[in-house]
Chain A
């Protein structure tokens, strides 16, 4: 199995973008592209060719679930593993997000020193 390298991270909050980028690049050694909205993700994703996509749930405009559905329609991204990152992590909420097509849910706030490990575990599962 190849190792995970390229991650697309979709998040509207600039501060969380900065923290997550550092955590994934410097701790995890990944190559990370940040998109600030679902619309930007749709424009940039195919060209970036990610191996994993992390999606915030609550975003203005296209929210996480809507963005997931739109990304899945792109043939190049139809089977790429996607995980949601959200504060809403009740079991029934997690089950709902998985039913939309997400592989798993990473709760917020996240531990930046552990984020890379969590993402890798989801990708490998």
Chain B
């Protein structure tokens, strides 16, 4: 409906424009023809009638001139409908005046002059049909009053010639009416198409402005460079900011200038040359004209495209400089903290170890006990630092896994050996039921042993004296399951949902008592997941716990 209203408005505006645009010529021609008619008809029509009619034509012409200038100067002061109706009225008045000519200036009995008059009427009607084609009502409002009196007069004459003239005039009127209708229809179609075209152009312009606004305000830097990669032809404000340039300097620059590693950029161009997209590649950018800015990093996506018909490359750059710098600072901090914490711990544990080992001579029982406490706690600190650093590496995705195929039962046997002394010290027996059928798994050996060690040490710590920790391997389909079961107190119900979270022990004092750091299971879960395994547990409070890990068997 909205589109129809808009089209009608456009049609009306176009009609008014065409009608008033043709008015000056119509007034001039009408005046000339009227004058010529009066001159020709002067001998056969009363002078008073001729002059009277000419005066009438003059008055109407002046009215039309007045309307023309009114429209020209004050168009915006009225609606298009007002101007159209005003025009129609003026045209009807002119038609009436011509009709008066056909009525009052008709030379009775003089067929030659009658034909001349008919010729003039037909001529002005035909001209009107053409110039008023944009408004059928205006055309009819002129043609009908112009020709009908003539038809009437011919019908009163009698005779073959007048009758023929009468019929021809009628046919001519019908023809002009049909022609006016068809012309208006064509005009309406043309105007509709033009309206649609204007609408589409406006929509396209609006869409372009909208897209341009989005690109200009997009925080991600964007630029288009010619396909050889050496001339920027389009860019947004964020790109200007990324390369620390002035807007006026960017067009035409060679983007290769900004790559810290030219080999990287060459690779990117090669990939694009093969018709491939380059998605989210980390690039390092240098700022040659502003070294104080330091290098920048961005996740760049490059897409082949066209720009004004020329092959080009669209580059999107997500600036992650701050993130990279923060990661480096954090990494350096972690490395520094690690060294700064471990250095005094080395001295502490070294000194205590020498004392405990009797290198400094015999100690009293009390002294031995105190030193043992100090040594145990400094060991705990060491484990805690190791666990914290492991967790940080896992979370940051920086832990490197050396995944290799290993015989599962061999790994378990090695872990049992490493932990047997710990078990013996707490009077806990370790048993192993090997149902692995010589299955192999794809794991990082050191990290897998770390997982097993954590599960075994937990099971031993929570087992009662003279208890048993059972290790079982079972195979089911393509999965190998390794389970570690103890006969300790089991997992409290309120703890089960957060058992694998960091520092989520049910009771931190219990953690310290058992010698844990609170990170063991969190790290174990991360390690298992990174090695594409699954970890879980089953437990009934008061009846021990069964922790298991599952890995796909590899051929």
A: residues with CB less than 8 A from B are: 13, 15-16, 18-20, 22-23, 26-27, 58, 87-88, 90-92, 108-113
Contact = CB atoms under 8 A, between A and B. Distances in A.
Q: Which 10 A-B pairs have the closest CB atoms?
A: A19-B350, A15-B347, A87-B342, A113-B357, A112-B353, A109-B346, A109-B349, A108-B346, A112-B350, A112-B354
Given A26-B359, A92-B400, A108-B342, A113 B347 contact: no
B400 to A, nearest CB: 5
Q: Which of B338, B343, B345, B350 has the most CB of A within 10 A?
A: B350
B382 A19 contact: no
A109 B338 contact: no
A27 B402 CA distance: 36
B339 interface: yes
B400 A19 contact: no
B309 interface: no
B397 to A, nearest CB: 14
B400 A22 contact: no
A23 B346 CA distance: 13
Interface in B335-380: 335, 338-339, 342-351, 353-354, 356-357, 359, 378
B381 to A, nearest CB: 9
B9 interface: no
Given A16-B343, A27-B359, A88-B339, 17 more contacts: A13-B343, A13-B347, A16-B347, A19-B351, A19-B354, A20-B350, A22-B359, A26-B359, A87-B338, A87-B339, A87-B342, A91-B402, A109-B345, A109-B346, A112-B349, A112-B353, A113-B357
A102 to B, nearest CB: 18
A18 B354 CA distance: 11
Nearest to A113: B357
Given A91-B402, A91-B446, A110 B350 contact: yes
Interface string B225-247: 00000000000000000000000
14 contacts: A19-B350, A26-B354, A26-B359, A87-B338, A87-B339, A88-B338, A88-B339, A91-B446, A92-B400, A109-B346, A109-B348, A109-B382, A112-B353, A113-B353
Nearest to A92: B400
B350 A58 contact: no
Contacts of A15: 344, 347, 350-351
Contacts of A88: 335, 338-339
A113 B349 CA distance: 11
The secondary-structure label for the interface of chain B is: helix
A23 B342 contact: no
A63 to B, nearest CB: 11
A27 B338 contact: no
Q: How large is the interface on B (under 10, 10 to 19, 20 to 34, 35 or more residues)?
A: 20 to 34
A10 to B, nearest CB: 15
A20 B344 CA distance: 13
B342 A27 contact: no
Interface in B310-355: 335, 338-339, 342-351, 353-354
Contacts of A111: 349, 353
A29 to B, nearest CB: 12
Contacts of B335: 88
A27 B356 CA distance: 13
A18 B359 CA distance: 13
B342 A109 contact: yes
A111 B345 CA distance: 11
B112 to A, nearest CB: 118
Contacts of A92: 400
A27 to B, nearest CB: 6
B391 to A, nearest CB: 14
Contacts of A110: 346, 349-350
Nearest to B352: A112
A13 B346 CA distance: 10
Contacts of B350: 15-16, 19-20, 23, 109-110, 112
A91 B378 CA distance: 24
Nearest to B400: A92
A18 B335 CA distance: 25
A87 to B, nearest CB: 4
Given A15-B347, A58-B339, A87-B342, A113 B354 contact: yes
A88 B359 CA distance: 28
A17 B344 CA distance: 12
B196 to A, nearest CB: 67
A16 B346 CA distance: 7
| Residue with the greatest number of chain A CB neighbours at <10 A, chosen from B346, B347, B400, B402 | B346
A91 B335 CA distance: 16
B346 to A, nearest CB: 4
A22 B378 CA distance: 19
A90 B350 CA distance: 22
Nearest to B399: A90
A110 B352 CA distance: 11
Nearest to B444: A91
A18 B351 CA distance: 9
A62 B323 CA distance: 31
